């Protein structure tokens, strides 16, 4: 819509005229302006990026933005959010309108290379699924041949959908919306038989329906969707900060450091923990990253460790009640694994 065109035009204009935006290193830019500009989900995706009735942002992606702000400034409030649609997000990052994209974005090779971004950290391992109304009596996605399927445009979802039906010799009628809200409304009104997006999103959207119990998420997961933050390519300093902000949260969970006990843990005898929290006398980890010495402490104080953030936003402590599954620590059979901090 108009907003998208404006964003795209601004992107084009900035690429065309603003020789400065793309070249300066993001960390200096961020420090100069005094806040992190973070691109997040603009359609209230509960658990990842959503505003409550008071206008406060919350979600897994929001916590990551706050963690970066806490690491850089020691103050998690020094972050501004730019709500973006699936389509707007890439031009916004390319043009330098945002410093960091944390908008449940799937890491794929074409986005990593062709679009000119860098991905490494994965703050949620997801997969694409289908939601249907229970009254249809459908028990498997393989029974969906001939169905109308609501999908958001400009997503990997749209491509997986086409591939899945094609590889299973089924046909379908796509009903494509740019904004998630309109897709929700259309599915609710019976315009489509099934709704497809990342499974986490389906749980979130299901809660928005008038009667969530009338809807069910089918068992098939048809794709790998590692969701994570993206930054512009060729800015490894900034890329390191964003990546390690996430790993700090994961490592904190592994070490058992929480918001509540972080001050106590500083006195820990464990050298790994002391180094991580910047308590080792001659540690240069923070300085090497371009951050204050207590960067990890600030992150944990602001948003907690990964497990705390997960529980609060999408896990047992939230209405979504999503199990840890793939997002458990590697020690507990999941994929969340922080490289050593030394």
Partner 1 sequence: MALADARTGSGEPPKVSLLYNPALRSVVYQVVTLVVIIGAVWYAWNNVVQNLARANMTAGFGFLNSRAGFDLAQALIPYSSDSTYFRALQVGLLNTLVVAAAGIVTATIVGLLVGVGRLSHNWLIARLCTIYVEIFRNIPPLLVIFFWYLGVLALLPSIRTIFQNLKEDPNAVFFISNRGIYMPAPVFGEGFGVVLVALLIGIVAAIVFTIWANARQRATGQRPPVLWINLALVVLLPLAVFIVMGQPLTLDYAVPGSFNMKGGMVIGPEFLALYLALSLYTASFIAEIVRAGIRGVSHGQSEASYALGLRPGQATRLVVLPQALRIIIPPLTSQYLNLIKNSSLAVAVGYADLVAVGGTILNQSGKSIEIISIWMLIYVSISLITSLFMNWFNAKMALVER
Task: Tell which one of 27, 100, 161, 231 touches partner 1 (CB under 8 A).
Answer: 161
Rounded to the nearest whole angstrom, what is the least distance from the CB of residue 289 to partner 1 in the complex? 23
Q: Please tell me whether residue 126 binds partner 1 under the rule CB under 8 A.
A: no
Interface residues for partner 1 in 137-156 (CB under 8 A)? Answer: 144-148, 153-154
Q: Please tell me whether residue 283 binds partner 1 under the rule CB under 8 A.
A: no
Residue (203 or 239) nearer to partner 1, CB: 239
Q: Please tell me whether residue 272 binds partner 1 under the rule CB under 8 A.
A: no
Interface with partner 1 (CB under 8 A), residue total: 55
261: which residues sit within 8 A by CB, 6+ positions away?
Answer: none
Q: Please tell me whether residue 258 binds partner 1 under the rule CB under 8 A.
A: no
Task: Tell which one of 86, 227, 251, 300 touches partner 1 (CB under 8 A).
Answer: 86
Q: Please tell me whether residue 19 binds partner 1 under the rule CB under 8 A.
A: yes
Q: Please tell me whether residue 162 binds partner 1 under the rule CB under 8 A.
A: yes
- The number of residues in the chain equals 342
Distance CA 310, CA 111 (A): 26
* Residue 22 vs residues 25, 39, 87, 324: alpha-carbon distances, Å: 8, 16, 20, 38
Strand-pairing partners, residue 131, are 195, 217
Q: Please tell me whether residue 84 binds partner 1 under the rule CB under 8 A.
A: no
Strand-pairing partners, residue 84, are 41
Distance CA 177, CA 196 (A): 12
Beta strands in the chain (DSSP E): 36-41, 50-51, 57-58, 79-84, 100-101, 117-119, 124-126, 128-133, 148-152, 173-177, 194-198, 215-217, 225-227, 230-232
Q: Please tell me whether residue 1 binds partner 1 under the rule CB under 8 A.
A: yes
Which residues lie near partner 1 (CB under 8 A)?
A: 1, 4-5, 8-9, 11-12, 15-17, 19, 22-23, 86-87, 90-91, 94, 110, 113-116, 136, 144-148, 153-154, 158-159, 161-163, 166, 172-179, 182, 185-186, 189-191, 193, 232-234
């Amino acid at each position: 819509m108009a907003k998208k065109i404006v964003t795209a035009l601004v992107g084009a204009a900035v690429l065309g005229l603003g020789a400065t935006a793309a070249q300066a290193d993001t960390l200096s830019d961020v420090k100069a302006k005094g806040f992190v500009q973070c691109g997040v989900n603009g359609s209230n995706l509960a658990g990842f990026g959503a505003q409550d009735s008071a206008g406060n942002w919350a979600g897994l992606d929001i916590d990551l933005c706050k963690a970066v702000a806490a690491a850089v400034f020691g103050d998690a409030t020094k972050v501004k959010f730019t709500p973006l649609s699936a389509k707007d997000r890439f031009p916004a990052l390319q043009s330098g309108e945002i410093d960091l994209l944390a908008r449940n974005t799937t890491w794929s090779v074409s986005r990593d290379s062709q679009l000119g971004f860098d991905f490494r950290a994965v703050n949620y391992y997801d997969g694409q699924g289908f939601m249907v109304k229970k009254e249809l009596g459908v028990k498997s996605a393989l029974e969906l041949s001939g169905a109308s399927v609501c999908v958001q445009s400009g997503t990997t979802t749209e491509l997986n959908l086409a591939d899945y039906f094609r590889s299973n010799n089924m046909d379908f009628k796509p009903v494509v919306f740019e904004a998630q809200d309109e897709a929700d409304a259309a599915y609710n009104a019976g315009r489509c038989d099934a709704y497809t997006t990342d499974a986490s999103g389906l749980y979130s959207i299901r809660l928005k329906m008038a009667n969530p119990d009338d809807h069910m998420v089918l068992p098939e997961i048809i794709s790998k969707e590692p969701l994570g933050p993206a930054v512009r390519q060729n800015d490894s300093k900034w890329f390191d900060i964003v990546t390690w902000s996430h790993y700090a949260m994961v490592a904190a969970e592994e070490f058992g450091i929480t918001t509540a006990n972080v001050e106590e843990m500083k006195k820990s005898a464990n050298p790994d923990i002391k180094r991580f929290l910047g308590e080792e006398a001659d540690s240069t980890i923070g300085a090497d990253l371009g951050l204050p010495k207590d960067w990890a402490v600030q992150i944990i104080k602001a948003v907690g460790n990964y497990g705390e953030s997960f529980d609060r936003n999408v896990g047992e402590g939230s209405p979504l009640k999503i199990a840890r599954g793939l997002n458990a620590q590697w020690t507990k059979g999941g994929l969340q694994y922080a490289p050593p901090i030394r």
